[in-house]
């Protein structure tokens, strides 16, 4: 199990935020393209989490396909994800297996992600395809939750633009 502590920053301009990160001395980690498949049980939704398959290409190299269940614990300032991940070798076969046990594909989407490291925290600038989520945002994964205010100040980010919402919750707010 991997544990992630994160927030999303909405209302960003990807080029401007990337420039700020670079000017502050952030190191580029990677540039990737992802295809994400998000699932929901036929009889409602998962309690406190979601299931996803992710295909990705990082810096031009195809990566292992991952099936992940994220169990979400949130408070007002952070979202904590306990991630349970396994590698699979066939998206179509995994989708068929999930359908057979009562779990349907809710949506699939593609995104471009550029990642940086700054002050030992990870910054992912995400741009989804228009159909999935038409507004760019940045995820910040924290190894030290006490750095939130410092990081927001360094990047001149207004706290009103920070959310713990998942992509599914953000899509819902836009009626997607």
Sign of CA dihedral 94, 97, 103, 108: positive
CA distances from 24 to 18, 20, 90 (A): 10, 6, 41
Mean pLDDT of the chain: 93
Nearest CA to 20 among 9, 34, 7? Answer: 9
pTM, rounded to two decimals: 0.92
Query: DSSP state, 42?
Result: T
Domain ranges (residues) in the chain: 2-173
Reported CATH class of domain 2-173: mainly beta
Q: How far apart are CA 16 and CA 150, in angstroms?
A: 19
Look at residue 62 in the predicted model and tell me its pLDDT: 95
Look at residue 127 in the predicted model and tell me its pLDDT: 98
Contact 6, 143 (CB under 8 A): no
What are the residues whose beta carbons fall under 8 Å from the beta carbon of 95, sequence distance 6 or more?
Answer: 37, 53, 105
Look at residue 144 in the predicted model and tell me its pLDDT: 82
pLDDT lower than 70: segments of the chain: none
């Amino acid at each position: 199990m991997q544990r992630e502590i994160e927030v999303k920053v909405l209302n960003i301009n990807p080029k401007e935020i990337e420039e700020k990160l670079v000017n502050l001395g952030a190191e580029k980690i990677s540039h990737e393209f992802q295809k994400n498949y998000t699932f929901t049980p036929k009889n409602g939704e998962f309690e406190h989490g979601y299931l996803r398959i992710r295909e990705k290409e990082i810096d031009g190299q195809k990566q292992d396909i991952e099936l992940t269940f994220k169990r979400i614990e949130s408070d007002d300032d952070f979202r904590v994800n306990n991630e349970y991940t396994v590698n699979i070798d066939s998206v179509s076969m995994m989708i068929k297996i999930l359908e057979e046990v009562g779990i349907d594909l809710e949506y699939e989407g593609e995104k471009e992600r550029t990642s940086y490291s700054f002050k030992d925290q990870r910054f992912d600038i995400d741009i989804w395809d228009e159909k999935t989520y038409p507004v760019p945002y940045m995820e910040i994964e924290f190894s030290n939750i006490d750095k939130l205010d410092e990081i927001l100040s360094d990047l001149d980010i207004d706290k009103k633009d920070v959310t713990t919402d998942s992509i599914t919750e953000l899509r819902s707010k836009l009626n997607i």
